[in-house]
Amino acid sequence: MTTTKNATHREPMTESETLREDLEYTRQHLADTVQELTRRLNVPHRMKETASSAGHRMSGAAGQTGQMMKGAAGRTGQMMKQVPSAMQGLPATGKRHPKATAAVGGAVVLGAGAMAWLARRHK
């Protein structure tokens, strides 16, 4: 390796200077490697970091879920207000399609019950 001491004079480095430079580079590289290994082997610290990160993610997800549930409950309330007007035409439809009417009615009751349960659960 024949590098120069000074770029303006272009004097070649002596063998001992080259060895010193290589030694310094090797020391720095070794120090960086030891530091990285120490960080990786510090399991308790890494576990705390991971747990903290997971806790923050869970808090955020819980907040978003709560907001989504409030929005869904509001929309369900609005839809339930429209049910009485839709019920007026139901007798004629029920006579024409009794099985379909029973299936739809069961689904509506099941959905309303599920929403009520979820709303009570998240209060």
Q: Which long-range contacts (CB under 8 A, 24 or more apart) does 94-102 make?
A: none
Per-residue pLDDT of the chain (123 residues; tens, 9 = 90+): 455 555 566 678 888 889 999 999 999 999 999 988 888 888 787 788 888 888 888 888 888 888 888 888 878 877 877 777 766 766 777 778 888 878 888 899 899 888 888 888 876
pTM listed for this prediction: 0.31
Q: What share of the chain is helix, strand, coil (3-state, %, to 5)?
A: 85, 0, 15
Length of the chain: 123
Angle between helices 98-121 and 43-87 (to 10 degrees): 140
DSSP code per residue over the chain = ---BS-TTTTPBPPHHHHHHHHHHHHHHHHHHHHHHHHHHH-HHHHHHHHHHHHHHHHHHHHHHHHHHHHHHHHHHHHHHHHHHHHHTTHHHHHHH-HHHHHHHHHHHHHHHHHHHHHHHHT-
